[in-house]
Structure formats: structure tokens, C-alpha cells
Structure 1
Amino acid sequence: MANQPAQKFKIGLVTATVWQNDGFYSVDMSRSYKTDTGEWRNTGSFHHSDLLNLAKCAERAEIWIGRQITSK
């Protein structure tokens, strides 16, 4: 069975995926896009128009992680 993320936050095409490993949290940020053939893919490169959603997803991830840490 594959490792599952602890939490995900998605705004528009931007996603923050939170991972937990031995009490340590890390966050992967990605943007979804559609190829010329219609397939959905993800990238770690962001367009200017993605930056506000990127910041909001990062903030939500930071708040969620903070709550996990303080509830222990």
C-alpha cells in the first residue's frame, strides 16, 4: 500500500500536499495542467497568476501542521 498524505489543500490548480514521517511534516507544492493531448499532469513550476493560490495553500498547510503539533 502506498504512503498516503496526511492532508491536502487545493485552490484552483495549486495543491499543497502535507506528508508526515516520524513526527516530521513536509509539504509538496504543485500546479496541475492539461497537456495538448488532454492528459492532466503536475509541475513544481508556477505562473505569476498561481502565486496568490500558492501562498494561500502554503498558509493553510502551515496552520494545519501547527495544529497537529500543538495538539500532541
Structure 2
Amino acid sequence: MRGNLLGKSSRTRKPSARIAQKANEPAAQFRLGSVVATVWRDGQSYSTVLAKTFPERDDHMHTDRLDSDDLLNAAKCLEQAERFVAAQLGRPPRR
């Protein structure tokens, strides 16, 4: 999960999506602020990893620990991940 830290975002911004082109890359990534939901494909199933990125020295680090300010962004990223997986599996997203 490499990428640039996008800083704080407004609550009205939609998560940005990146859809993979290569087999060894994630199927998709959804980023909002510093929160990233990465969708991985394993045969016919999918799994999602939720992480937060933060700068450290000259690199970006990842953690699974979210602050209270990250929770809404995490929910929105996970919702986008769920919609992506549902579309890949040919079923409607859950409500």
C-alpha cells in the first residue's frame, strides 16, 4: 500500500479509487484522508485490509490503529470496498 499521504479531508469528499492492472497488485484501493481500504483478490473471494498512513522521516508508515477522527473516513472507504466487491461478484451491495 504505497502512496502519498493526502492530509486531512473534508467530510464531503468521496474516497478516491485505484483499480489494479497487474496480478500482484491489490484489486482496488479506496483512500480518504489518511485512511486506506485495500481490496485483495484470492481466487473467487476478496478480502479487505484497512490501514492508516502517516509520515515518518522520509517514508510513509502504515498502522491499523485509527483515531476517532479517522472513523468516518474508514466507514466510507469500507463502504466503497464493499460496493466494489459486490460489483465484482455480480450482486447488489448490502444496505
TM-score (structure 1 length as normaliser) = 0.88
User: 1:14-54, CA deviations, whole angstroms, 9 ceiling, x for partnerless residues?
Assistant: 0000000111100000000122x343100000000000000
Q: CA RMSD in A?
A: 1.7
Aligned to 2:66: 46
Aligned to 2:82: 62
The list of structure 1 runs, each at least 4 consecutive aligned residues, that deviate by more than 3 angstroms after superposition, is none
**Alpha-carbon distance between aligned partners in 2 of 1:25 and 1:14, rounded to the nearest angstrom:** 19
Question: Could you say what secondary structure the match of 1:8 adopts?
Answer: strand
Structure with higher helix content:
1
Unaligned runs of 5+ in 2: 1-22
Letter in 2 for 1:67: A
Letter in 1 for 2:66: F
Tell me the percent identity.
36
**Alpha-carbon distance between aligned partners in 2 of 1:20 and 1:38, rounded to the nearest angstrom:** 30
Structure ranking higher on relative contact order (CA contacts 8 Å, 6+ apart) = 1
